[in-house]
Every structure is written in structure tokens, then in C-alpha cells.
Amino acid sequence: MHPLTGSIKRYDWGSHDAIPAILGIEDDGRPLAEYWLGAHPSGPARIDDGVPLDDAISQNPAMAGDSTRLEFEGRLPYLMKLLSAGRPLSLQAHPNRIDAQAGFARENAEEIPLDAPERTFKDPWDKPELLIALTEFDALAGFRAPEASAELFAGLGICNDSQKVFTPLLSRGGRAGLAEVFMNCLVTDDERTAAVTDVVAAAINHVDDEGELGDFARTAVTLDEHFPGDPSLLAALLLTRHHLKPGEALYLQPGRLHSYLHGTGVEVMGNSDNVLRGGLTSKHIDPSALAQVVNFTTIPIVPMLAEQELPGLWRYPTDERSFACWRLELIPGRMIELPGELSGRILLATRGEIGVSQGQDDLVLVQGQAAFLEAGRQVQISGDGQGFLTATGMDA
């Protein structure tokens, strides 16, 4: 069992105070977007003796468990993060394993450096993800039915010229019409620039409306505040808006387009750095790769609730092979026992105190502290706090 210190990421979309408050560090006025707890080479956590976690696992693979060796080439297959969005993130999707392998091989053959701005595939791994809200959390995720989106744009009262931009939603319908409008809205031209102006101006008149039209209008106005005049704002409006309460989660499989708007949460994902951006960003966009990766299905994404496995232990039912995640809501005086068959685990305390025993080792975690629990050893957890536990999904 090893105390774990994460890696701080200061992206400009991050909030200033939420993660410092959890970690118990000073808010220095700079955005702090993410706190990584894992073994990703771009920001590995460090165990108690200062060794990066990826190096420690490479030197002692048994600490991460057999599944990392058998299926994941000896690498820890998951990454846990604290994430806090002060403003909207880019519109993005992540590849499945097949697309990641093909894209990584293609860009290697083209000799595009891994750190080049135009590099899209940084590794050959997929990146499913689970976002669990710690605060009220707003996100865009999953395409709305094209007929419903066409009705919402019409409900704003936009002019006929702007309405033409969205005609394929009805004239072609289905995935084809949705894909056509989405990809066209990634292009900056006079027609779409005018449509953005018209949509936002019309939306201002509906920000006090109730129901879906009001949410739609408020989303348009909010995105325009951060990305004024950007046609990809229109693409983002094709997605469903979700409002999560603390404890609720969004499970995003590869290919599902999304953008986190505002709030703080715990994020668990496949250990990959593959991000295909589709707008609301100044960074590189690869439309052809994006079109191949994005899933244009309109099957709704439903916020996920955890399922109780034991008193005080709640699991988010993702059925992913790379990760499994539990929320701990500990009951004073009651101990939770975790079997030794689980892979190497990361435990993060988000409130109160959590006592951990593994063999002869004992550790107390307070809010913001984390530990890596080695595979193959039974663990007892007790206390009065809240925390999140991640393991390899194959062993859960």
C-alpha cells in the first residue's frame, strides 16, 4: 500500500478553487483543471518514495495484477482524475481500440511527432470514460434525434436563411442528415457565421423559458460567451444537455461526442491521451478522423446511478474491461472487506476520513489524499468518509 501524490494539470478551462479546496492547498489564482491519479506517462502520480507510478509498475508488474500483463501489455489500463470545469471544454470524442490502433499506426508511418500540434492519435488505446459529479455538473453528451433538434432551432424563431443550415436534419433525416449538418458546422463560411449570429440573437429571447427550449437557448448563449461567432457552436447544439446531481454519472463509450460545461467531478477513464476535437477549440481538428470515430447514433445517454454491492459500497455498472469504479459512503463502525483477487487499485478520499488496512500496513486518508493498493492482497476499509475506488474492470 502506497500513499499517492497526483499530477496537477493547469488547463485554461479549469476552475480556480474547487480542486485546491479538495486537496487542501492554496488557491493561487490560476486555473487548476485536473488532478491525475494514475500511471499515464504525461503525468504519472508518484508513490510514497517519489517514484513515478508507471516506473514502479514497470519494475514490479505484480503490484498491478495479472490482467495488466495479460491484456494491457503491463500498463495500468485506467486513469482516475479530479476534474473541475470553470468554462466549457472542447467538443470531443475518443476512439475505440480498433480506430486507435489504426490511427496511431497511420500517423507513425507519416512520421508525425507525438508532440506535434497536428498529431491526433497519441497511443494505440481506446478511451471510454465515466464522469461522476461531486457538485452540480452540466455537460453536453450524445446526439439528440435530428427531428427534435430541427424543432428546437425552429422554436427559437430564426430566419429562413439560417434555417437552411439545418434542413438536412429533416430532408435526409437519421444519421446521414445529422452527420451532414454536424460536419458542415465545423466549417467557417459566411452562411454559418450568419447562422450563429442569428441563433444566438434568437436564443437570448428564450433564456427564461422553461423546459427543453429554455435549456437549448441557455446553452447557445453560454457557448457564445466563450466562443463568440464560432460555427462549431451550432454543432454542439445538436447534443443533449445533462444536469447531474452529486453522485450521478455519465458513462461515455468511445465515439460518443461530448463537452463538459461546468462543475467538479471524479473522472475514471481508459489510460489514453487520444482526443479528437470537433469544435469549441483553437486546437487542431482532423475532420476525416473525427468523421470515422464519432458515433452518430441518437440512442440517449442516460445519467447513471451507482448500485449498492455492500453497505457503504456502491458500484457504477459500466462493464468496461479497462476500469471499474466504486463510490464509498462509509458507515462508522462498519468495515468493508475487498478481496485480494482485485487488480491494483487507486483509492481517493473526497470527504472525511478513510482508514485502510492491507496486511500489516495501515493508512488513514483524509480529504484529497489517495493511495495505490497492490494487487493480490485483501483490503479492509473503514471510517466515516466518502471516497472513490478504481480497479481493472476484468478483475472486478
> Is residue 289 assigned to a domain?
no
What is the torsional sign of CA 156, 161, 166, 168?
positive
What is the torsional sign of CA 319, 325, 327, 328?
positive
Instruction: Say how many C-beta atoms besides its own lie within 10 A of residue 166's C-beta.
Output: 25
Shared domain for 31 and 124, answered yes or no, is yes
Domain range for 177: 147-237
> Is residue 220 assigned to a domain?
yes
Contact present, 372 and 250 (Cβ < 8 Å) = no
> Is residue 111 assigned to a domain?
yes
Known catalytic residues are: 277
Query: Which residue, 365, 361, 388, 332, is CA-closest to 133?
Result: 388
Q: Tell me if residue 350 falls in helix, strand or coil.
A: strand
Residue identified by cell 459500466 is 318
Alpha carbon distance 306, 199 (integer Å): 38
Contact present, 57 and 75 (Cβ < 8 Å) = yes
List the chain residues with pLDDT less than 70. 396
Quote the pLDDT of residue 396. Answer: 67
Last residue of a domain, one of 185, 219, 237: 237
Shared domain for 108 and 17, answered yes or no, is yes
Query: Which residue, 328, 323, 256, 291, is CA-closest to 67?
Result: 323
Quote the pLDDT of residue 68. Answer: 87
Q: Which phi and psi angles does 248 have, rounded to 5°?
A: -80, 160
Tell me the one-letter amino acid at 96. Answer: N
**What total number of domains does the chain contain?**
3
Shared domain for 128 and 39, answered yes or no, is yes
> Is residue 361 assigned to a domain?
yes
What are the tens digits of pLDDT across the range 152-178?
999 999 999 999 999 999 988 789 999
Long-range contacts of 367-370 (CB under 8 A, 24+ apart): 367/22, 367/24, 368/22, 368/23, 368/24, 369/3, 370/3, 370/4, 370/5, 370/6, 370/37, 370/45, 370/346
C-alpha cell at 117: 500540434
> Is residue 299 assigned to a domain?
no
Shared domain for 126 and 170, answered yes or no, is no
Last residue of a domain, one of 212, 237, 262: 237
Query: Which residue, 333, 316, 342, 224, is CA-closest to 279?
Result: 224
Last residue of a domain, one of 220, 237, 254: 237
> Is residue 301 assigned to a domain?
no
What are the tens digits of pLDDT across the range 196-222?
999 999 999 999 999 999 999 999 999
> Is residue 223 assigned to a domain?
yes
Shared domain for 159 and 233, answered yes or no, is yes
Distances (CA, A) of 103 to 144, 233, 251, 253, 283: 28, 27, 24, 18, 18
H runs (alpha helix) in the chain: 18-23, 53-59, 66-70, 97-109, 146-156, 160-163, 168-171, 174-184, 190-204, 211-226, 232-236, 287-293
Quote the pLDDT of residue 283. Answer: 86
Shared domain for 132 and 21, answered yes or no, is yes
Shared domain for 181 and 221, answered yes or no, is yes
Shared domain for 205 and 325, answered yes or no, is no
59 class by beta-carbon count within 10 Å (0-12 exposed, 13-18 middle, 19+ buried): exposed
Alpha carbon distance 175, 168 (integer Å): 10
3-state percent breakdown (helix, strand, coil) of the chain, nearest 5? 30, 30, 45
Shared domain for 333 and 197, answered yes or no, is no
Report the CATH number at residue 23: 2.60.120.10
β-strand pairing of 137-143 with 239-244: antiparallel
Shared domain for 311 and 275, answered yes or no, is no
| Beta-bridge mates of residue 130 | 251, 268
Quote the pLDDT of residue 69. Answer: 84
pTM value is 0.95
> Is residue 156 assigned to a domain?
yes
Shared domain for 19 and 85, answered yes or no, is yes
Shared domain for 31 and 117, answered yes or no, is yes
